[in-house]
Amino acid sequence: MNKPRVISVVGPTAVGKSKLGIQIAKTFNGEVISGDSMQVYRSMDIGTAKVTEEEMGGVPHHMLDIKDPSDDFSVAEFQRTVQGLIYKINDQGKLPVIVGGTGLYIQATLYDFNFSDVKKDDAVIKELETEASEKGMQEMYDRLKAVDPEQAEKIHPNNERRVLRALEVYETTGKVMSEYQEEQSEESPFHPVLIGLEMDRKRLYDRINRRVDQMVEEGLVKEVKALYDEGLEGQQSMKAIGYKELIPYFKGEYDLDEAIELLKRNSRRYAKRQYTYFRNKMDV
């Protein structure tokens, strides 16, 4: 049986992935699948740089607005859903085009990572959450760096969910998360064509800074405040860059200018981590 062909456009934030993905879909009779782990959430449009209906230009898009901000969402769920979409789009005689910057999610989908061996242990997670609350996330992150520096490099120190999950895997299995990922098959159930976008680092960082300014002009603060007022602060969705930086501002811990500068800095650092992931982990 012929494997379905899949185009995947990857790269750092603000490099121009969405525009190219739509152009490819228009040229080759395709449909776009978002490869961004945060664009699945409803009411999170500006901060996730979600494409507008006008920008879609009539091209069908998938994996947008399928979850409430109060819902959890995992790489395993992304994998199952997107693999189903790839087969469905292919069966319709069209080309699936995955567009996004969440490297692990895209890689897990294209190369059929097996997550069944890494079961969650709620008791261990609860214990780690208590410890994080008492000692702070920096200490938990430092512990992860000590046992699994490769995985720690891919996770922001403030991303509590992923830091604790990586520690939980180590504490329950004796193996680190990066070992599980290394053991995954390099075989793909598809015929993937990966297109990686890059840009001069200074130019990219300038684009990121301008994009943040544009987001603020378009109403980012109002968007995040509405979610904060719904009591969603502790949810997975609110750990996203563009959202978590504004919460301390709402609490009066720093002013808006400082929040915006922090958002720009975190976005630039995220772009750097994306470059590292795609260069080291995927055959782009």
Q: What is the pLDDT of residues 179-223, one digit of tens each?
A: 776 766 678 999 999 999 999 999 999 999 999 999 999 999 999
- CATH number at 210 reads 1.10.287.890
Higher-pLDDT residue of 150 and 205 is: 205
Per DSSP, the three-state class of 3 is: coil
Nearest residue to 259 (alpha-carbon basis) of 250, 268, 272 = 250
Residue 281 has a pLDDT of: 80
Q: What is the DSSP letter of 59?
A: -
Q: Are residues 15 and 77 in the same domain?
A: yes
Q: Are residues 157 and 262 in the same domain?
A: no
Per DSSP, the three-state class of 173 is: helix
Separation of alpha carbons 13 and 209, rounded Å = 11
Q: How far is CA 204 from CA 9, 12, 126, 207, 244, in A?
A: 17, 9, 40, 5, 22
Q: How far is CA 59 from CA 12, 27, 30, 109, 137, in A?
A: 23, 11, 8, 22, 42
Higher-pLDDT residue of 123 and 197 is: 197
Residue 57 has a pLDDT of: 97
Q: Is the pLDDT confidence value at 234 over 80?
A: yes
Q: What is the pLDDT of residues 85-113, one digit of tens each?
A: 999 999 999 999 999 999 989 999 999 88
Nearest residue to 110 (alpha-carbon basis) of 119, 125, 100 = 100
Neighbouring-strand partners of residue 34: 99
Q: Are residues 68 and 42 in the same domain?
A: yes
Encoded tokens for 32: 């776009």
Higher-pLDDT residue of 56 and 160 is: 56
Burial grade of 14 (CB within 10 A; 0-12, 13-18, 19 or more): buried
Query: How much of the chain, in percent, has pLDDT values that exceed 70?
Result: 96
How many distinct structural domains can be found in the chain?
3
Q: Residues near 37 by Cβ (< 8 Å), separated by ≥ 6?
A: 73, 75, 78, 102, 105
Neighbouring-strand partners of residue 61: 32
274 contacts 13 by C-beta, under 8 angstroms: yes
Q: Are residues 194 and 57 in the same domain?
A: yes
- CATH number at 54 reads 3.40.50.300
Higher-pLDDT residue of 147 and 284 is: 147
Q: Are residues 39 and 111 in the same domain?
A: yes
| Residue 1: band (very low, low, confident or very high) from pLDDT cuts 50, 70, 90 | low
Residue 121 has a pLDDT of: 78
Q: Are residues 23 and 98 in the same domain?
A: yes
Beta strands in the chain (DSSP E): 5-10, 30-34, 61-62, 95-100, 191-196
Q: Are residues 145 and 94 in the same domain?
A: no
Range of the domain at 100: 5-115+186-198+275-281
Encoded tokens for 244: 């978590």
Q: What is the pLDDT of residues 25-36, one digit of tens each?
A: 999 999 999 999
Residue 116 has a pLDDT of: 55
Residue 180 has a pLDDT of: 73
Q: Residues near 105 by Cβ (< 8 Å), separated by ≥ 6?
A: 35, 37, 75, 78, 79, 82
Residue 118 has a pLDDT of: 64
Q: Chain-wide mean pLDDT for the chain?
A: 92
Residue 143 has a pLDDT of: 93
Residue 178 has a pLDDT of: 76
Residue 185 has a pLDDT of: 61
Nearest residue to 176 (alpha-carbon basis) of 211, 148, 207, 199 = 148
Q: Are residues 193 and 83 in the same domain?
A: yes
**pTM of the predicted model over 0.75:** yes
Q: What is the pLDDT of residues 128-147, one digit of tens each?
A: 999 998 999 999 999 999 99
Q: Is the pLDDT confidence value at 264 over 90?
A: yes
Separation of alpha carbons 245 and 254, rounded Å = 10
Per DSSP, the three-state class of 38 is: coil
